[in-house]
């Protein structure tokens, strides 16, 4: 059993409600062993710059429900190098050395990284530089392998469901075709769970054949069938990563690329509305893009509990010397899942059984 006296923690990537619940649990569990906790600010930027602060019981008091992260976050990638000609290569930079040095300087015996596949991917790569890390899966996208759920997904689901409940009243009143664009990057978890919970009539996800995951005809068919049944409104939930067949399966994006090579998605909702306006439909399409609302707000009870359990287990895995793993929820049990194995499944596609249920409830 390693002699863990000091634990570092960081929160990276897209935020969500629930992160602070995990921080609170980490500090409480560590304190019970007399272990000191240091919080690095703004994701991997913190260890690179040695930007850290003590995290005490007082610092985490009253943050259980708070959204966001008291440490701040960023999309910092120490394995990204931009060459003089602008080409981006993925190789260790001097930032990797800085991380190793700062962890040594601060006498950090174990590091807990809370984040999505990008943040945990850095933790995994740092293992070969001697960094002893435990990952906690956190992303509203829920696209991380090795766990049934990631922190933040259920809170985003609550936001989407509430939005769809609200949108039903105006769609019904105005006899409208409302298109709701949700996040999720290359996975459709938010769209499927949110669409089913919120009673959408059409759910469009990124999962599907390369030539495209949906077509405008699919949507037109459902809307016309509902009209024939006297339903003079429809609600379409479309994942930002959904891929129209009319675009050859390409995603609608805004062009910016982040430090991990992800292009910023967004716009498929408006693209679909414009296409539907060209069809012979008596309903006016209107678009709502939920965007960052899905990342904000306060954590649901499920996320608070999941984050608390992950935080406790992450400290215990460190105490047991189990590193280069993440805390994975398997049913009701939490396991130490090798990061390499979990990351190999990213982006975790929506469970086919769930897609089947969505097809039954919202027949295309
Ligand atoms: O990964 C979480 C997420 O919200 C994705 O669903 C979305 O595509 C992305 O982050 C947006 O990235 P950013 O916060 O950098 O704009």
Q: Is the CB of 184 under 6 A from ligand 1?
A: yes
Task: Please measure the distance between the N-terminal and C-terminal CA atoms of the chain and give it in whole angstroms.
Answer: 55
pLDDT in tens, 176-220: 999 999 999 999 999 999 999 999 999 999 999 999 999 999 999
Predicted TM-score (pTM) above 0.75:
yes
The atom number, within ligand 1, closest to the CA of 266 reads 8
Q: How far is the CA of 294 from the centre of ligand 1 (A)?
A: 10
Active-site residue, selected from the candidate residues 42, 141, 201, 303? 141
Q: Is the CB of 14 under 6 A from ligand 1?
A: yes
Instruction: Kindly state the greatest CA–CA separation across the chain.
Output: 70
The atom number, within ligand 1, closest to the CA of 185 reads 8
Domains 6-152+299-343 and 154-295 fall in the same CATH topology: yes
Q: Is the CB of 73 under 6 A from ligand 1?
A: no
The structure tokens listed for 15 are 């935020």
Can you tell me the distance from the alpha carbon of 134 to that of 321, in angstroms, rounded to the nearest whole number?
10
Mutate to test the pocket of ligand 1, among 141, 187, 350 (most ligand atoms within 8 A of CB): 141
pLDDT in tens, 117-132: 999 999 999 999 999 9
Q: Is the CB of 185 under 6 A from ligand 1?
A: yes
Tokens 């995603």 locate to 251
Q: Where are the domains of the chain?
A: 6-152+299-343, 154-295
Average pLDDT in the 271-292 region?
Answer: 96
Contact 73/51 with Cβ under 8 angstroms? no
Backbone angles phi, psi at 318, to 5 degrees: -65, -45
Can you tell me the distance from the alpha carbon of 349 to that of 328, in angstroms, rounded to the nearest whole number?
16
> Dihedral through CA 152, CA 154, CA 160, CA 161, nearest 10?
-160
pLDDT in tens, 151-173: 999 999 999 999 999 999 999 99
Can you tell me the distance from the alpha carbon of 167 to that of 289, in angstroms, rounded to the nearest whole number?
12
Q: Is the pLDDT of residue 2 over 80?
A: no
What local confidence, expressed as pLDDT, does residue 82 receive? 81
What local confidence, expressed as pLDDT, does residue 248 receive? 97
Angle between helices 216-228 and 268-277 in degrees, nearest 10: 60
Q: Residue with the nearest Cα to atom 1 of ligand 1? A: 14
Q: Residue with the nearest Cα to atom 3 of ligand 1? A: 14
| DSSP states along 99-151 | HHHHHHHTT-SEEEEEESHHHHHHHHHHGGGT--EEEEEB-TT---TTSS--B
The atom number, within ligand 1, closest to the CA of 183 reads 6
Cis peptide bond prior to 347, omega within 30° of 0: yes
Q: Is the CB of 258 under 6 A from ligand 1?
A: yes
Percent of the chain with pLDDT over 70: 100
The structure tokens listed for 127 are 């293992």
Mutate to test the pocket of ligand 1, among 143, 183, 258 (most ligand atoms within 8 A of CB): 183
Backbone angles phi, psi at 299, to 5 degrees: -75, 140
pLDDT in tens, 136-147: 999 999 999 999
Secondary-structure class of domain 6-152+299-343 per CATH: alpha beta
Tokens 């807990």 locate to 112
Pairing of strands 253-257, 36-40: unpaired
Kindly tell me the sign of the dihedral angle through the C-alpha atoms of 168, 169, 170, 172: positive
CATH superfamily of 154-295: Phosphofructokinase domain (3.40.50.460)
141 included as an active-site residue: yes
What local confidence, expressed as pLDDT, does residue 156 receive? 98
Q: How far is the CA of 283 from the centre of ligand 1 (A)?
A: 31
What local confidence, expressed as pLDDT, does residue 364 receive? 61
């Amino acid at each position: 059993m390693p002699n863990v006296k000091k634990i570092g923690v960081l929160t990276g990537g897209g935020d969500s409600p629930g992160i602070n619940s995990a921080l609170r649990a980490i500090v409480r569990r560590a304190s019970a062993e007399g272990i000191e906790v240091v919080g690095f600010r703004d994701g991997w930027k913190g260890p690179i710059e040695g930007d850290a602060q003590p995290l005490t019981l007082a610092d985490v008091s009253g943050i259980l429900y708070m959204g966001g992260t008291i440490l701040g976050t960023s999309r910092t990638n120490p394995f990204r190098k931009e060459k003089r000609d602008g080409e981006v290569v993925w190789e260790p930079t001097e930032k990797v050395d800085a991380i190793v040095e700062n962890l040594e300087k601060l006498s950090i015996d174990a590091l807990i990284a809370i984040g999505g596949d990008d943040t945990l991917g850095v933790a995994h790569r740092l293992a070969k530089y001697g960094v002893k890390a435990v990952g906690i899966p956190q992303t509203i996208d829920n696209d991380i392998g090795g766990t049934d759920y990631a922190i933040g997904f259920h809170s985003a689901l609550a936001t989407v469901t509430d939005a769809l409940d609200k949108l039903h009243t105006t769609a019904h009143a105005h006899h409208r075709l409302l298109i709701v664009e949700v996040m999720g990057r290359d996975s459709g978890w938010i769209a499927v769970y949110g669409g089913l919970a919120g009673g959408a009539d059409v759910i469009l996800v990124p999962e599907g054949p390369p030539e495209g995951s949906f077509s405008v005809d699919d949507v037109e068919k459902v809307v016309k069938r509902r009209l024939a049944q006297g339903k003079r409104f429809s609600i379409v939930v479309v994942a930002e990563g959904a891929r129209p067949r009319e675009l050859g399966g390409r995603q609608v994006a805004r062009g910016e690329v982040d430090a991990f090579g992800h292009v910023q998605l967004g716009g498929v909702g408006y693209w679909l509305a414009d296409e539907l306006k060209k069809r012979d439909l008596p309903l006016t399409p209107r678009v709502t893009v939920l965007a960052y609302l899905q990342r904000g707000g306060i954590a649901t009870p499920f996320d608070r509990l999941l984050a608390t359990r992950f935080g406790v287990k992450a400290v215990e895995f460190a105490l047991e010397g189990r590193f280069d793993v993440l805390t994975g929820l398997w049913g009701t049990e939490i396991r130490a899942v090798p990061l390499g194995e979990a990351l190999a499944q990213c982006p975790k596609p929506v469970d086919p059984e769930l897609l089947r249920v969505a097809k039954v409830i919202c027949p295309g």
